[in-house]
Amino acid sequence: MEKTVRGKQVLKMLKFGQLTFNKGELSLENLLQGGQAFRWIYNENKNHYTTTMKVGDSDKYVVVILTQPSQTVLEFATVGNMCCLKSLGDHLADYLRLEVSVRDLHATHWIKRDSNFTSYSPQGVRMLAQEPWETMISFICSSNNNISRITKMCHTLSRKYGEKIGKFDSMDYHSFPTSNDIKEKATETELRELGFGYRAKYIIQTAEKLAIDKAQGGFLGDTEYLLYLNAHMTYEQMREHLMSYSGVGPKVADCICLMGLRMDDVVPIDVHIKRIAMRDYKFQAKKSDIKQLAEKYRDLPITRKKINLELDLIRLMFLGKWGSFAGWAQGMLFSKEVGKTSGATTSGEIKKRKLGDITETSDVFEVKKEFKTEECIVESTMIEEGTQISIKVESR
């Protein structure tokens, strides 16, 4: 069966899979553009999100589509059905960390440890398991910056230096550039002209160093190299190594550890979390604690140079209060403090939105995977560039 749109035969069949879970475990609108990931694009008219990502162990990027028709269902597909649904479903369950119940953490751990958590709930905010290399560059861009500008920078890097993967929603989608891509294609001058400011130097130097480091270690991929290091280092050693890269201080290193390397107990301390520590927890650093911590880092020269001991004591305070998933608790507080999301849209604008409100239940946590096929009119790679085609999803 074929349909014609403006003279073009473009009917494709998108195969959709489903993940189901309990209310409050996941909210795409509160999560995907809330300050962890920066390349999800939101279609306001059709209420779906798209990005490019590697699925499973593949080094090839595909265009992934996510939509959440209800508070308990996530639907997913790839443009052109470029990978099997089971592989994509497994990858997304892993990317979204659905093996962890954030509602259970809130109810049985954080509230019992910290009475402040009785006044708010997770609202579907959780930690993502992202590519460590992309996380590194994204958070180098975060220095003295806001989510909207970080988003713009990450999309610019992909558009200028990544590989074109496909077209959807009348937009071109690209891979995130590797360290070699940036090393070979980008210059500090060009990045400054593109609006990166002083971060341009950091990005170029970091890409050059990581390209050399991974080659000397016998690795081809940036993420492969960083994951190998992480498997053979303690947190303090990994943070020390990450801070050897230009533009990576303690906060950026901790963001990489938490969101890119799954160190769930790591609490990145930015201006928002510092404010929470001072305002809600009356934090005050003791001279004896500062002295003891300085001694602990005696054999870590980069840490000694870059660390703010007072902020690191805040990290340790929250780790003591919140336990092995302290980083997730921090993510929840960060989301509540900021109170909004900000991200790219198919209109070409970066827009801010208030967090959605979720009424949670006490159901037993369970993730289910189902698969179905829905008919979609999408842009074919054979269509002339610039042809406008609407997306229509019809359940069969």
Q: Residue 299: phi, psi to the nearest 5?
A: -95, 15
The pLDDT value recorded for residue 56 is: 81
Q: What percent of the chain has pLDDT over 70?
A: 87
Q: Based on the number of CB atoms within 10 Å of its own CB, is 385 exposed (0-12), middle (13-18) or buried (19 or more)?
A: exposed
Cα 392 from chain centre: 28
Place of tokens 């309990």: 22
Residue 362 lies in a domain: no
Of 204-218, 243-257, 367-381, give the lowest mean pLDDT range: 367-381
Q: How confident is the model at residue 366 (pLDDT cuts 50, 70, 90)?
A: low
The single-letter code of the amino acid at 181 is: D
Distance CA 12, CA 393 (A): 11
The C-alpha angle 134, 314, 302, rounded to 5 degrees, equals 55
Q: What is the CA radius of gyration of the chain?
A: 22
The pLDDT value recorded for residue 371 is: 53
Q: How confident is the model at residue 373 (pLDDT cuts 50, 70, 90)?
A: very low
* Number of domains composing the chain: 1
Residue 385 lies in a domain: no
**Taking the model in full, what pTM does it have?**
0.88
When pLDDT is averaged across residues 210-235 and rounded to a whole number, the result is: 97
Sign of the torsion formed by the C-alpha atoms of 185, 188, 191 and 193: negative
When pLDDT is averaged across residues 284-301 and rounded to a whole number, the result is: 96
Q: How confident is the model at residue 361 (pLDDT cuts 50, 70, 90)?
A: low
Residue 384 lies in a domain: no
Digit-coded pLDDT (tens) for 136-161: 999 999 998 999 999 999 999 999 99
- Of 152, 167, 214, 251, the active-site residue reads 251
251 is catalytic: yes
Tell me: pLDDT of 362 over 60.
Answer: no
Residue 391 lies in a domain: no
The pLDDT value recorded for residue 284 is: 95
Residue 286 lies in a domain: yes
Residue 45 lies in a domain: yes
Residue 175 lies in a domain: yes
DSSP state, 176?
A: P
Tell me: pLDDT of 392 over 60.
Answer: no
Q: What percent of the chain has pLDDT over 90?
A: 79
Residue 236 lies in a domain: yes
When pLDDT is averaged across residues 278-292 and rounded to a whole number, the result is: 96
When pLDDT is averaged across residues 14-26 and rounded to a whole number, the result is: 92
Give the CA count within 13 Å in the CB-facing half-sphere of 162.
Answer: 23
DSSP state, 239?
A: H
Structural domain that includes position 349: 4-354+368-377
Backbone angle region of 170, left / alpha / beta, with phi > 0 → left and psi within -120 to 50 → alpha = left
Helix axes 132-140, 147-161, angle to 10 degrees: 120
Of 250-259, 292-301, 386-395, give the lowest mean pLDDT range: 386-395
Q: How confident is the model at residue 82 (pLDDT cuts 50, 70, 90)?
A: confident
